[in-house]
Structure 1
Amino acid sequence: MDNPHLDFTAHPASASFNHFDQDNDAPPPFESIQYDIICRRQIKPKPNSLKSTFAPSRFIHLPDAFEFAGWGSLTRLSLTDDDSKAGGLTMSAMKKNKVLGQWTASALAGNAVLGSVFYALPAVVAVGGIFSPISLSIATLILFLWRPIMEELASALPISGAPYTYLLNVSSKPLALVSAALLLLDFASTSVVSAATASTYLAGEVDLPFPSWVGAVIVLFIFVCISLTGIRESARIALCVLSFHVATMIVLMIIAAVHWGRVGNDQLRENWSAGLIRGGTSPAQIMKQVYYGFCLGMLGLTGFECTPSYVARIKDKQFPSVLRNLHLPAIVLNSVIMLLVLATVPLDVILAGANVLSVLSLLAAGRWLRVLLAIDAIVVLCGGVLTGILSACELFGQLAQNRAIPALFLRALPVTGAPFMSIISFAAFCGLLYATAGGRLDVVSQMFSLVWLTVMTLFPLSLLLLKFNRGRLRRDRRTPLFTILFAFIIVSIAIAGNIAVNPRTFGYFSAYFIGITFLFSLTQNKSHILRCLYWIYDQYPVLHRWKITSNWGSRLVDAIRRLKRRPICILVKGDEIDQLFRMILYVWKNEETSCLKVVHFSDTEKGVPSELEANVKILDEAFPELTLDLILVPTTFEPKSVAALAHNLDIPTSLMFMCCPGPNYTYSIAEFGARIISL
């Protein structure tokens, strides 16, 4: 052959292949084949051509070069002292952020978990009848399945924002956006139900000059204004509120138990007889009541899903204790309170659904306990409203950092620092949710139960994908696969029961879920939508001639180019072309960019992988829509170096992607702040 590089017989590599065939060993490494170079013909394109394809452009008035992102470059980057200093400050801030112990961390979600008793009981009694204590006990015990699942997820990925961030690291971005839509609906339901219940309890103590739904709107408006002042949720304040709530519930249970012992079981017998007449006495009818009560009893556990959302702020090894502190009191509170209500309050009053615990406190101790309980309800439930708003703002911020929604959601008011766009958007969505439900608390509560169950489905789903796609990640515990599958079965049964109780709530849920997911899909695929708009514009030449529309095309093209120029990094360890291809393909499918920086940290001992530059050039030609810039950084790959690189390139670590570290790796994935996109 004329070209010695293409003459395979001229190389002793054939011996290596024969040895591989005979001994059935692993294939020889690339270096042993003794190719000195990779033979590639890479000619720079002409002005109106693609990198290495002659496919015509789909646009009539745009040249082929529009699809060409440009050739990549090779850069050897040395991090400056300023970069290293910035990286050190980032790492110090991350360590200082772990400030929550088990009690303060429990308080942040505890007000929602233990405060749900105010709006869960009437909904459960409406379907569970006199068997509601059994239903609530089963519902609370089911969480023993979720605790090991959530513990393993938090151990492997100690990153705030779960389950959105879990799915973002173990699957594709579209699936993560589906979880974000569910979370947003969950946060909105939390705020609306809390505000409506607080207004109901207030209306039970004073004569309001307006309907209770107007009071709910006023409560939402007040806390939107409070959020705009820049007030952040304080763990210590939350702990004080939770302590007051727990103390009030203990006083209520003790006094109600004493009252029950004084009046005897007459009221319980009456309720039992009335309940059997109302619900039926056959085993099938009894099982149906217990089942429906169990399905809606999950409403009494809302808030439990919020604990992983701030796991990065919890001190090491404290997360399992936080889950325990939330779970065990919920078991006692829901079951005991429900039993005391049935033993002392007439069933028709309970089914009326208005301030059930206020009626219990009035019967047990008189006016003073009822006032105390009303104050406790209003304080705790208003805390739930604020929790929903702040959680939604945190979610919007993460979505904006990941470029799933516009960066406008990251803008803050100049004085207070509040993310005004996130707060106003969330408040508008809450208002829409409450208005379309007709201002009815029971409708929103039942939908809330369905939303919460769907959100809880995301945790076993995340762990299943974690085990399959990121099994190498280090974690402190391993949950049996049977537990994960059993959790799926239980939550599916509960979801089916909620739909059967009131199919209309499933309609509300589906409409909102589809709408939010559609909006997230639009904001995630902005450049694709703009390309479609330009294609439509391109098909009508008359639009190019009209004065009013003649500049639309240039504006659309400029907007597409601005979106595509925003860079993204992938952090690579080796030069295996299949691994590089998978990582680049992930970016191409999940992110809107044409500027991809391939970064390799190289130390002096190992040096740069021999085929890294050549393989990046091959892939640069294989992806005409991407510009692959290879950046070699002569330093050790560690969290501080990644933070310093982020400062140098002005790219946040949330837009730096890496492969999954092994089980014996020194650092946690949370320390890097990068996204895992490959096994």
Structure 2
Amino acid sequence: MKQNKVKTTIKDSKKLSVLAATAICGNDISSSVLYVSALAIAFAGQYAWITLLIVSLVLFLFRKIYGEVVGALPLNGGAYNALLNTTSKSVASFAATLTILSYMATAVISANEAIHYLHHIVPAIPIIITTIILLVFFSALTIGGVSESSKVAIAIFLFHLSSFVILSVFITYFLFNNGIGLFIENWHMPTEGGSITNAIFLGFAASMLGVSGFESSANFVEEQQKGVFPKTLKNMWVVVSIINPLTALFALSLFALPLLQSDSYQNTLLIEMASHVGGNWLAILIGIDAFLVLSGAVLTSFIGVSGLLERMALDRILPQYFLKKNNRGSSYRIILIFLVLTISVLLITRGDVKLLAGVYTISFLLVMILFGIGNVLLKVKRNSLPRPEKASWLAILFAIIAVIIALIGNIIMEQRVGFPSNFTVFLEYFVPAIVFITVMLNRTVLLKFLLKLIHSVFDPFRSFVMKTDKKILSVIDAINSQEFVYFTKDDNVETLNKVLLYIQRNEHTKK
């Protein structure tokens, strides 16, 4: 008994600790500070920090939802795993396809944006080639093993939090000396369109993109030590609840609202804030931090998709080919195929990865909705399963409705600013993906149908060939049935052999 306990402890020690697991998914969700505050201000104006706090409330409810589902079903796969155990493989595969698309878009967008920040510091680097190099690097790191890649994730995560603390100290000191008069002026500015409700609605829809990455921890829960998963949810919630609303408040205190809503501040808000309060060196520090934490989001995508596709292969939705592991325990074939997919998408879009915004937005929000539905079905169909915590019915209903509102808001938002329809771009990627998954899911049925089709087409010809074959053989037998007689005056073997060879070559007979 003691020996078994020691073996279990050693095995568990190789799995991810709280810090490692939090860092892997935390890099994704915390990197949102680089864009979500500016995006919220663009739509909600001075009420952006309020919309970000509402998002924090929604995320708090999802903590319970994720905690209950994964606590009852502690397997990789996230929403796929929840629906697989409460509905059918086809429904679960729908959720899996959305998750894969979300990871694909996250990896490509994060890598590309990371290189853009690096390009801001080192203008000489080629963006597309360097983006490909970054994707290859993190795929190789993931192939090296989750525990090894988690060390890089931890370093990036701690550097990111430290950089934000340094920036916050400088901003606080600046505001202490200069006051918050600009924030008060911004607060009293008239709302664009005149509707505060509409501003908060659109701001909330935009702000929901700031919690992308929260679902990642559920996709590699089997690699985490016992009891780590709920702590990762708590840590991610704390981080995103502090840094995103605080960044919006800081921005509204440092710059006039019209300037914040201009295009020039949308992509580099934190760098502009750093330059304003600390000078060029602090702006460079934030630029390096942006490059690193967005790179960390790429790592999150590779680890998350690896856990999900491995689970799908174990469930025989995908071929067993994907389950081949290296000596580090990594499903390297999954990672390499995902790498090829991300590079191809980058090349197809020619580096204009904003086209993937629709894929990213709709996929991520639908995954969250499906996870909430999975929690409902778990309560109804498998209520007897033990679970460490439970989400209330009211909390689940509120959370699902909130994400549906955010989804509707994002579609309206894109139409409002004149961008291509999110839904159209989403379908361009979703339809081929779901067709492939559907084919894999029903491949035995399709193969049987193909076999039946071949028989129905070729069986009549086969019957004709068989009858013709028999007829021709009977004619040949009739011809060969004629006898040949050779008269010889002696029994010389050499002469008889020559005669037989002559007959074999020149006569139609076997007698």
What band does the TM-score fall into relative to the shorter chain?
A: 0.7 to 0.9
Where relative contact order (Cα < 8 A, 6+ residues apart) is larger, the structure is 2
- Does structure 2 conserve the Cα–Cα contact (< 8 Å) formed by 1:97 and 1:312? no
Pairwise mapping of residues 205-244 of structure 1 onto structure 2 (< 5 A)? 205-210=121-126, 212-228=127-143, 233-244=148-159
Q: Deviations over 1:365-401 (max 9, x none)?
A: 0122112212222222112112211221222222112
Q: Pick the aligned partner of 2:169 from 237, 251, 254.
A: 254
Shift of 1:515: 2.1
Q: Relative to structure 1, is the Cα distance of residues 419 and 159 closer, same or farther in structure 2, using a 3 angstrom cutoff?
A: closer
- Does structure 1 conserve the Cα–Cα contact (< 8 Å) formed by 2:356 and 2:425? no
Q: Secondary structure at the match of 1:540?
A: helix
Q: Relative to structure 1, is the Cα distance of residues 163 and 342 closer, same or farther in structure 2, using a 3 angstrom cutoff?
A: same
Pairwise mapping of residues 430-509 of structure 1 onto structure 2 (< 5 A)? 430-435=342-347, 439-445=351-357, 447-502=359-414, 504-509=421-426
**1:198 paired to 2:96:** no
Once residues 398 and 113 of structure 1 are traced to their aligned partners in structure 2, the CA distance between those partners, rounded to angstroms, is: 23
- Does structure 2 conserve the Cα–Cα contact (< 8 Å) formed by 1:447 and 1:508? yes
**1:293 paired to 2:203:** yes
As a proportion of its length, which structure holds more helix? 2
Once residues 344 and 137 of structure 1 are traced to their aligned partners in structure 2, the CA distance between those partners, rounded to angstroms, is: 20
Q: 2:478 corresponds to which residue?
A: none
- Does structure 2 conserve the Cα–Cα contact (< 8 Å) formed by 1:112 and 1:303? yes
Q: 2:259 corresponds to which residue?
A: 348
Q: Deviations over 1:319-375 (max 9, x none)?
A: 433322211221110001111122223543653223211111111101221122122
Shift of 1:122: 3.4
Q: Secondary structure at the match of 2:389?
A: coil
Q: Pick the aligned partner of 1:397 from 304, 310, 321.
A: 310
Shift of 1:177: 0.9
Q: 1:428 corresponds to which residue?
A: 340
Q: Relative to structure 1, is the Cα distance of residues 213 and 472 closer, same or farther in structure 2, using a 3 angstrom cutoff?
A: same
Q: 2:296 corresponds to which residue?
A: 383
Q: Name the amino acid aligned to 2:53.
A: S
Once residues 436 and 498 of structure 1 are traced to their aligned partners in structure 2, the CA distance between those partners, rounded to angstroms, is: 24
- Give 1 or 2 for the bigger CA radius of gyration: 2
Q: 1:327 corresponds to which residue?
A: 237
- Does structure 2 conserve the Cα–Cα contact (< 8 Å) formed by 1:97 and 1:313? no
TM-score using structure 1 length: 0.61
As a proportion of its length, which structure holds more strand? 1
262-271 vs 238-247, which deviates more? Answer: 262-271
Q: Pick the aligned partner of 1:153 from 59, 66, 69.
A: 69
Q: Relative to structure 1, is the Cα distance of residues 475 and 316 closer, same or farther in structure 2, using a 3 angstrom cutoff?
A: same
Q: Relative to structure 1, is the Cα distance of residues 517 and 316 closer, same or farther in structure 2, using a 3 angstrom cutoff?
A: same
Gaps of 5+ in 1: 1-87, 547-679
RMSD after superposition: 3.0
Once residues 456 and 402 of structure 1 are traced to their aligned partners in structure 2, the CA distance between those partners, rounded to angstroms, is: 22
Q: Displaced runs of 4+ in structure 1, greater than 6 A?
A: 88-91
Q: Pick the aligned partner of 2:276 from 356, 360, 363.
A: 363
How many residues are paired up?
A: 452
Q: Name the amino acid aligned to 1:238.
A: A
Q: Name the amino acid aligned to 1:221.
A: V
Q: Secondary structure at the match of 2:36?
A: helix
Q: 2:104 corresponds to which residue?
A: 188
**1:305 paired to 2:224:** no
Shift of 1:259: 1.7
Q: Relative to structure 1, is the Cα distance of residues 367 and 526 closer, same or farther in structure 2, using a 3 angstrom cutoff?
A: same
Q: Secondary structure at the match of 1:170?
A: coil
Identical pairs, percent: 29
Once residues 497 and 512 of structure 1 are traced to their aligned partners in structure 2, the CA distance between those partners, rounded to angstroms, is: 21
Q: Deviations over 1:174-219 (max 9, x none)?
A: 1111111111112112212211221121122121353x45543442
Q: 1:114 corresponds to which residue?
A: 30
Shift of 1:236: 4.4
Q: Pick the aligned partner of 1:516 from 424, 433, 437.
A: 433
- Does structure 1 conserve the Cα–Cα contact (< 8 Å) formed by 2:139 and 2:335? yes
Once residues 331 and 64 of structure 2 are traced to their aligned partners in structure 1, the CA distance between those partners, rounded to angstroms, is: 35
